[in-house]
Amino acid sequence: MKIPETPPKYTEVLKNNREEIINALIDPEVIDFLTKEEQEYNYWDKFKYLKMPKNLDPKIIWSCREIRRSGKLIDSPIKSKDSQYFSYTLTPVIEKTLHQTDRNMPFIAAEFSQDAFDSRAMIIRSLMEEAIASSRIEGAAATRRKAKEMLATKKKPSNSSEQMILNNYTAINYIRKLKEKPLSKEILLDLHRILSEETLDSKEIGRFRQSPLDDNVEIIDSDGTVLHKPPHGKYVESMLNDLIEFANTNKGAFIHPLIKGILLHFWLAWIHPFCDGNGRTARAIFYWYMLKEKYWAFEYLSISRIVLNKEGQYKRAFLNTELSGDLTYFLMFNSKIINEAAKEVHDYIKRRLKQECLETDILKKFSMLNQRQRKIIFHAKAHSGRIYTIRRHQIQNNIAYATARSDILGLVKLGLFTAMGSSKIHEFTPISEKLK
């Protein structure tokens, strides 16, 4: 990945172009251009190639944007290496996301709370998706289907990629149990131990970077480009003290929880307190904070799965923020990702409601079945040829093995499923004609 060009400082451009910039700031065409551009909030490397109003020099229009932005700047508590505070502005896209989050997340949580069975199943599904995607962002090579099979059946990982996915799954479940507890260095170290088990050198697990031992740690892209040189290890613990205080307190002006969660994500990734595993830890802390602030619907969202498909944009948002000191780029990217993740869950709810309407006759036909068994019937009708096991059914529904066995054998007894292969494996397949 090519490192983005550092944007021009408007204070330097202003020195030799004061009158031209002042005139541009009050020009209706320039104002209209900047108002529309605020929706995209392009970084300099894209901004400079846009068609400029009045055919003005891109540096002039960029300076106008930065001057307009300066009046709406919000300082964060995050300090750069040269002790300057990172700042941000609330663009229309970010503000819309905040509004939609506050309006729609309670609806998502309430929708699932009406169906405890579906809620459990969706949480397990989301945790699996998040664990797999977060690991693949960091380089895990396991396929999604094989990884879900491993997690669902609790098989032992067969390689480092599967181990990383299992670690992520364990860590996310760990985070869910900590949502009422304040963040601490001990929690960060425990989280790193879980995320790193059997995937990193034992000397690097569960400890913060130190100087001079770890001062050569860098984030390097697949093509060899150095993307980030974190602060030296001697600064890590003091920086984490500031991060932890920010996470646990609400000093100063109000910051929307979603903004604060994203800032924590960036801050931890930027400090890079561990030799490896920082991205996974940062995303886990974002989830912890959203659950801590009672945004329960985030349990149903798999944000990393969408980030995985936009990994280049994710890296650019981080780089653009670091080079410019403007957190708006990282906030904009994450706002769009969260909107997409929420839309996926909304679409799932719509499909589920539609499915419930279409399957009224099925429910009547199989009224003797319990809710878990009916879910298997629904799934089998939609996924022809799928093989089912007692163990997978047990884990997916968080029930005792005896209960899972009773569910599956009940379907066999009714002639809806048939056992296949060795009885020791306990594999079953639906009898298609009986499900019509």
Q: Is residue 262 part of a domain?
A: yes
Residue 36 has pLDDT above 90, yes or no: yes
Q: Is residue 357 part of a domain?
A: no
Q: What is the pLDDT of residues 133-142, one digit of tens each?
A: 777 777 776 6
pLDDT band at 67 (very low <50, low <70, confident <90, very high): very high
76: three-class secondary structure by DSSP: strand
Average pLDDT over residues 29-49: 96
Nearest-angstrom CA–CA distance, 430 and 399: 21
Q: Is residue 77 part of a domain?
A: no
Cis peptide before 212 (omega within 30 of 0): yes
Could you tell me if 39 and 177 lie in one domain?
no
Average pLDDT over residues 179-191: 95
Could you tell me if 143 and 248 lie in one domain?
yes
Residue 285 has pLDDT above 60, yes or no: yes
Q: What is the pLDDT of residues 378-391, one digit of tens each?
A: 888 878 788 999 98
Q: Mean pLDDT in the chain?
A: 87
Share above pLDDT 90 across residues of the chain, in percent, rounded to a whole number: 49
- Residues in CB range of 3: below 8 A, 6 or more apart: 225, 227, 319, 323
Could you tell me if 48 and 160 lie in one domain?
no
Class of residue 327 by CB neighbours under 10 A (exposed 0-12, middle 13-18, buried 19+) = buried
Q: Is residue 135 part of a domain?
A: yes
Nearest-angstrom CA–CA distance, 161 and 374: 35
Nearest-angstrom CA–CA distance, 334 and 291: 17
Could you tell me if 56 and 98 lie in one domain?
no
Nearest-angstrom CA–CA distance, 105 and 364: 33
Residue 153 has pLDDT above 90, yes or no: no
Average pLDDT over residues 12-37: 96
Nearest-angstrom CA–CA distance, 304 and 132: 9
Q: What is the pLDDT of residues 40-53, one digit of tens each?
A: 999 999 999 999 99
**Which H/E stretch holds residue 85?**
strand 85-88
What's the pLDDT at 116?
44
Burial 89-124 (b: 16+ CB within 10 A, else e): bebebbeebbeebeebbeebbebbeeeeebbebbbb
CATH number at residue 372: 1.10.10.10
Average pLDDT over residues 308-326: 93
Nearest-angstrom CA–CA distance, 415 and 430: 9
Q: Which of 119-123, 336-340, 377-381 has the lowest mean pLDDT?
A: 119-123
Could you tell me if 50 and 115 lie in one domain?
no
What's the pLDDT at 122?
63
Q: Which two tokens stand for residue 159?
A: 């390689």
Number of domains composing the chain: 3
Burial 176-209 (b: 16+ CB within 10 A, else e): eebbeeebeeebbbebbbbbbbebbeeebbbebb
What's the pLDDT at 425?
60
Supply the range of the domain harboring residue 150. 86-349
Last residue of a domain, one of 71, 95, 123: 71
Q: Tokens 């605020």, residue?
A: 38
What's the pLDDT at 117?
41
pLDDT band at 374 (very low <50, low <70, confident <90, very high): confident
Residue 257 has pLDDT above 80, yes or no: yes
pLDDT band at 371 (very low <50, low <70, confident <90, very high): confident
What's the pLDDT at 362?
64
Residue 237 has pLDDT above 80, yes or no: yes
Could you tell me if 287 and 221 lie in one domain?
yes
Q: Minimal CA–CA distance to 98: which of 300, 259, 229?
A: 259
Nearest-angstrom CA–CA distance, 329 and 318: 8
What's the pLDDT at 422?
60
Q: Which two tokens stand for residue 162?
A: 């599967």
Nearest-angstrom CA–CA distance, 259 and 266: 11
Q: Is residue 359 part of a domain?
A: no
What DSSP string runs through 281-324?
HHHHHHHHHHHHTT-GGGGG--HHHHHHHTHHHHHHHHHHHHHH
How far from each other are the two terminal CA atoms of the chain, in whole angstroms? 53
Could you tell me if 224 and 131 lie in one domain?
yes
